[in-house]
Amino acid sequence: MAKEIFKELQEFLIQVCLRIAKRKEGALFVIGDVPHKVLVDQTVPSFNVLKNPKLLESLALMDGAIVIDNKGKLVSYGSMIKSTKVFKNFGTRHSAALSASKKADLVIMVSEEDKKIRIFKEGKMVMQIDPSEKGIEKAVPEAVNVLESVGAGTLGAIGTSLLVPSLGIYLLPGIVLFGSAYYLGKNIHKHFTKG
């Protein structure tokens, strides 16, 4: 997959999720080839999601996941992702997101309950975004840069505004990066000793 297209797709989907969260709705976006079962007739033909955000947003409000290929084309909507892992203390959308992220390139979801956007990679929740944070839309490009570096195993793109709470690293107001304490500690140390 072209790295620039994937980065643009991540930023685009997070912005769509911010709008959905502010409407107090939930959604699940899966980027990549994952096993899924289509639950509704696919009357809307495949399209490049980057070129039609309004249609994508409307389809995302249906029950089920939106599956997008790694070139930004809609694969299906209203799809069921079989949960193979349970995300404790969260609902079925979270469990589906966690399960899908084991095979998908990236999973982005909006929780209908707490309105938070959660991003999953490689079977783990890696980031949470709070849509109620003032000016959060402007922080999305930096959050995507960090997502890109998480895949490479480095947190070098974080910048100097970080705090370390017990659950994750606050990148910017409203954005938290998650990982194991060892992984976070090791990479924070690298970040500050690059000097």
In the predicted model, what is the mean pLDDT of residues 8-25? 94
* Parallel, antiparallel or unpaired: strands 124-129 and 169-172: unpaired
Give tens-digit pLDDT for 159-189: 333 333 444 555 566 777 665 433 444 444 3
Q: What is the DSSP letter of 102?
A: T
Which domains, and CATH codes, for the chain? 3-193 (3.40.1700.10)
Return d(Cα 83, Cα 80) in angstroms, integer: 9
- Read off the pLDDT band of 16 (50, 70, 90): very high
Give tens-digit pLDDT for 100-158: 999 999 999 999 888 999 999 888 888 889 998 888 888 888 888 777 765 533 333 33
How many CA atoms are closer than 13 Å to the CA of 21, on its beta-carbon side? 25
Taking CA 30 as the corner, what is the angle to CA 115 and CA 59, rounded to the nearest 5 degrees? 70
Return d(Cα 92, Cα 81) in angstroms, integer: 10
Separation in Å, CA 157 to CA 1, 170, 187: 22, 13, 11
How many CB atoms sit inside 10 A of residue 138's CB? Answer: 9
